[in-house]
Structure 1
């Protein structure tokens, strides 16, 4: 078992109390500490408690909302049984496929979904492109609502967990 050197009730150092390793006078000023105790833990004279993380800043919350939106936006969706990627490249490819079908009059295109190649009609490609577009817009709308809540006075979004929950659906 280690001993904790405290300053104002906060662990600043953990020492090995083996005789001769440190001056005895220093060890006597320390408190025996369980193995899980670490630097910055608090000690109230009876028990140790882990440090309390400060609440996230507005910048932390805004960055987390943007990151979670991007993850949700690009995780892909399933449309009529076809698993479709929704990353930025796939969004552009869908837009190009719709434009190609509209301009060429071709009845169908070969399209590579997450499950492999499929032949899709113009109506199917358009439906998939619209579904991906709606998915992307939903992700941005969720982020916009979170940003409004983060910046509200008083703020209604104050934790990373609230952001995670908003994108979990």
Structure 2
């Protein structure tokens, strides 16, 4: 015997326990899903959505989120975390996309001219820094941004394997503490 749930209007409507092919026992317009091995077992009224041939269930009142929607949430969280900034030798450095681009171009100038100096705007105001300091800032920003993308990849893999939980979305992201190698000289 297998337990089946009939899906109607995006919800679990009723159950049937049968031997054999349930699709031959009811009108073909009925959508029956085998619930054998589904944990937690859904109840009548639970939401149901089919994604790539697999059914996802959620308690009544909770949204059913597809893996694609979970991936979008993860990407949005990564984008937010990416822009949280870093601290390098006491300097608060912005890590927005615009700041990343400016820091990269400043870093390139420092590579071409080891004597390069500039007035650099931090989150708290201007400081004059040299090529070595610029390189340390660029390294710290790049490490922070890469750590955000690395965390996103871990979460996407968890979504793919069905191991993702809502709590994971807020855990494991890099903080704004500088890597030890990012100290200004």
CA offsets, 1:73-129, max 9 Å, x none?
011111110000101111111111111122234342110010110011211110010
TM-score, reference length from structure 1: 0.64
Partner of residue 165, structure 2: 158
Report the Cα distance in structure 1 between the residues aligned to 2:129 and 2:65, rounded to whole angstroms. Answer: 46
Relative to structure 1, the CA distance from residue 73 to residue 82 in structure 2 (aligned partners, 3 Å threshold; closer, same or farther) is: same
TM-score, reference length from structure 2: 0.58
Partner of residue 142, structure 1: 151
For the aligned residue pairs, the C-alpha RMSD in angstroms reads 2.0
Report the Cα distance in structure 2 between the residues aligned to 1:105 and 1:143, rounded to whole angstroms. Answer: 35
- Bigger shift: 119-128 or 98-107? 98-107
Asked if residue 106 in structure 1 is aligned to residue 93 in structure 2, the reply is no
Relative to structure 1, the CA distance from residue 168 to residue 126 in structure 2 (aligned partners, 3 Å threshold; closer, same or farther) is: closer
Q: Which runs of 4+ in 1 moved over 6 A?
A: none
The structure that is helix-richer by fraction is 1
The structure whose Rg is larger is: 1
Task: Check conservation: 1:75, 1:86, Cα contact below 8 A.
Answer: yes
Report the Cα distance in structure 2 between the residues aligned to 1:145 and 1:93, rounded to whole angstroms. Answer: 28
Task: Check conservation: 2:86, 2:93, Cα contact below 8 A.
Answer: yes
Structure 2: state its 5+ residue gaps.
1-44, 46-59, 176-185
Pick aligned residue for 2:72 from 40, 63, 72: 63
Structure 1: state its 5+ residue gaps.
1-41, 43-50
